Amino acid sequence: MQDFPQSIMEYICTSLMDERSMGFFLIDAGGKVLRSGGMLSDFAISPPRPEDDITDILLFMKGLLPLEQSPLKLSQIRIHPGVTVDAHLFQTAEGYGLILLDAVHQEKLVARFQQKANELVLLREKHTRILEHNFGKGFAEQLLELDPHTNAVKKPATILLVSIRGVSELAEHYEPLQIFSTLREYVSTMIQSVHVEGGIVKDTFGNTIMAVFGLLPSALPPAHQSLNAVHKIFKKIADLNTNRSEHRLNALEVGMGVASCEVMAGIKSREERHSLMVVGPCFEMADRLEKLTRPGQVIVDRSTFELSGELKKCFAPVRVRLGVNTDFSLAFAWEGSND
**Given the rule CB under 8 A, which of 67-75, 289-297, 313-321, 323-331 is the region that contacts other proteins?**
67-75
Q: Report CA 22 to chain centroid distance, whole Å.
A: 33
Name the minimum Å distance from CB 106 to other proteins: 8
Q: What residues pair up with 159 in beta bridges, in sequence order?
A: 212, 259
**Cα 163 from Cα 161, distance rounded (Å):** 7
**Given the rule CB under 8 A, which of 35-43, 77-85, 287-295, 299-307 is the region that contacts other proteins?**
77-85
Contact between 103 and other proteins per CB under 8 A: yes
Q: Which candidate, 188, 279, 270, places its Cα nearest to that of 237?
A: 188
**Cα 19 from Cα 219, distance rounded (Å):** 60
**Cα 301 from Cα 283, distance rounded (Å):** 12
**Cα 215 from Cα 278, distance rounded (Å):** 9
Contact between 76 and other proteins per CB under 8 A: yes
Contact between 110 and other proteins per CB under 8 A: yes
CB 89 within 8 A of CB 67: yes
Among 27, 57, 64, 300, binds other proteins (CB under 8 A): 64
Residue number, 184 or 273, with CB nearest to other proteins: 273
Contact between 74 and other proteins per CB under 8 A: yes
Residue type, 138: G
Among 149, 270, 313, 319, binds other proteins (CB under 8 A): 270
- What is the secondary structure of 43-69 as a DSSP string? GT-PPPPTT-BHHHH-GGGTTTPSPSS
Among 9, 12, 117, 171, binds other proteins (CB under 8 A): 117
Contact between 175 and other proteins per CB under 8 A: no
CA angle, 32 as apex, 95 and 65 as ends, to 5°? 60
Quick one: 239 exposed, middle or buried, by C-beta within 10 A (0-12, 13-18, 19+)?
Answer: exposed
Contact between 78 and other proteins per CB under 8 A: yes
Site string for other proteins, 191-220 (x = CB under 8 A): ------------------------------
Contact between 272 and other proteins per CB under 8 A: yes
Contact between 183 and other proteins per CB under 8 A: no
Q: Report CA 48 to chain centroid distance, whole Å.
A: 43
**Strand pairing category for 95-102 and 22-28:** antiparallel
**Given the rule CB under 8 A, which of 40-48, 160-168, 214-222, 267-275 is the region that contacts other proteins?**
267-275
Contact between 44 and other proteins per CB under 8 A: no
Contact between 184 and other proteins per CB under 8 A: no
**Cα 41 from Cα 23, distance rounded (Å):** 9
- Residues lying near other proteins in the complex (CB under 8 A): 55, 59-60, 62-64, 72-79, 84, 103, 107, 110-111, 114-115, 117-119, 121-122, 125, 270, 272-273, 275
